[in-house]
Amino acid sequence: MASISSTPRTVEEIFKDYSARRAGILRALTYDVEEFSNMCDPEKENLCLYGHPNETWEVNLPADEVPPELPEPALGINFARDGMNRIDWLSLVAVHSDCWLLSVAYFFGARLNKNERKRLHSLINDLPTVFEVIAERRPIKDKPSADNGSKSRGSIQRTSDVQSKSTGKLADESCDEDEEEHGETLCGCCDGHYNADEFWIGCDICEKWFHGKCVKITPAKAEGIKQYKCPACNLKRHRP
């Protein structure tokens, strides 16, 4: 149970709590997706995905107390794991997680006045939803290559994990199809092959793709990058 003194009260405190819980959930659905998936065993009881104020996540049973301390996440996310394509399942969990994050924020904000609620909504609305991040996190089928001279990707704003042009096929492609399409894509740092379960980001200058962990870019950092330059391109820029 959270103590009264630790409960977020101001708009800034509530938004900080929202952002941290959101970061935890995003980590579960991106960097830690294999661990998250393994924990969502359909043979277990109704499980929920929780994001915590310290930017961690947890898969657990719902709270025993009635009513619970906070609004509850969607029950039974584990039951659909094996009956859907991986990206469809993650997208469904993301949608329910967005609803839960909002419900927690407005639970804490119930005593805010009209203007404060409006300001809180504006801060939250400036961030991409979890669903938007998950649905757009993979490279597109027609990914520009270094030898075709295409620079169209440079005009796209990075508001999610990995930047791409909209093809209308991101959310409904299976991971198997994605692996086949991008099996020859290599990380510009480690030469590792593309994996749909990992976070990748593309350089807008040289158009190479990189593991986020290799270039130390997290999904949260990627949201604020308008034009990403890889370490090599950054080095070229600063040479005399």
Query: For every one of its 240 residues, what pLDDT tens digit does the chain have, with 9 covering 90 and above?
Result: 343 346 888 999 999 999 999 999 999 999 999 999 999 999 999 999 999 999 999 999 998 887 888 999 999 999 999 988 899 999 999 999 999 999 999 999 999 999 999 999 999 999 999 999 988 754 333 333 333 333 333 322 333 333 333 323 333 444 455 555 555 678 888 877 777 777 888 888 888 888 888 888 888 778 778 788 888 887 765 544
pTM of the full predicted structure?
Answer: 0.57
Domains: count for the chain = 2
Amino acid at position 11, single letter: V
Say whether both 120 and 62 belong to one domain. Answer: yes
Say whether both 162 and 44 belong to one domain. Answer: no
CB–CB of 103/48 below 8 Å?
Answer: no
How far is residue 96's CA from residue 106's CA, in Å, rounded to a whole number? 16
Which residues constitute the domain of residue 85? Answer: 4-135
Say whether both 28 and 110 belong to one domain. Answer: yes
pLDDT of residue 168: 32
Buried b (16+ CB within 10 A) or exposed e, 18-29: bbebbbbbbbbb
Among the three residues 83, 101, 135, which one is the final residue of a domain in this structure? 135
**Torsion region of 225: left, alpha or beta (phi above 0 gives left; psi -120 to 50 gives alpha):** beta
Residue with token string 């924020």: 105
Which tokens belong to 174? 């299976």
How far is residue 120's CA from residue 88's CA, in Å, rounded to a whole number? 30
CB–CB of 184/197 below 8 Å?
Answer: no
Degrees to nearest 5, angle at CA 20 with 26 and 32: 30
